[in-house]
Chains A and B, each alone.
Chain A
Amino acid sequence: MVSIYNTLIDANSWGSDIPASIQTARDYYKYVDPRNFFAIFGPINQLLILLALIFFWKDSVSLRFYFGLSFLLYAIIVILTFAYFIPRDQILFTWSIQDHTEQIRAASAQWIAMNWIRSALGLAGVLSSFKGLDIYYKLKH
Chain B
Amino acid sequence: MEAIAINQLIRSVFHLLKITFAIGAIVVAA
Q: Which residues of A contact B (CB under 8 A)?
A: 1, 41, 44-45, 48-49, 51-52, 55-56, 67, 70, 74, 122, 125-126, 129-130, 132-133, 136
Considering the chains assembled together, what is the distance between the CA atoms of A129 and B19 in angstroms?
Answer: 11
State A67–B18 Cα separation when bound (angstroms). Answer: 12
Specify which chain B residues have a CB less than 8 angstroms from the CB of A130 in the assembled complex: 26
Residue contact B29 to A45, C-beta cutoff 8 Å: yes
Residue in A55, A125, A132, A136 whose CB lies within 8 Å of B29: A125
| A45 and B28 contact, CB distance less than 8 A | yes
Interface of A is mostly: helix
The one of A44, A51, A132 that contacts B28, using a Cβ cutoff of 8 Å: A44
Taking residues whose C-beta sits less than 8 angstroms from the other chain, chain B's interface range is: 10 to 19
Query: Do A48 and B17 touch (CB < 8 A)?
Result: no
**19 contacting pairs across A/B (C-beta < 8 A):** A1-B30, A45-B25, A45-B28, A45-B29, A48-B25, A48-B28, A49-B29, A52-B18, A52-B21, A55-B14, A56-B18, A74-B29, A122-B29, A122-B30, A125-B29, A129-B22, A129-B25, A129-B26, A129-B29
Q: B30 touching A55 by the CB < 8 A rule?
A: no
On whether the beta carbons of B18 and A49 are closer than 8 Å, the reply is no
B23 contacts chain A at the CB level, 8 A cutoff: yes
Residues of B within 8 A of A44 (CB): 28
Asked whether B24 lies within 8 Å of A48 as measured between CB atoms, the reply is yes
CB-CB under 8 A from B17, the residues of chain A are 55
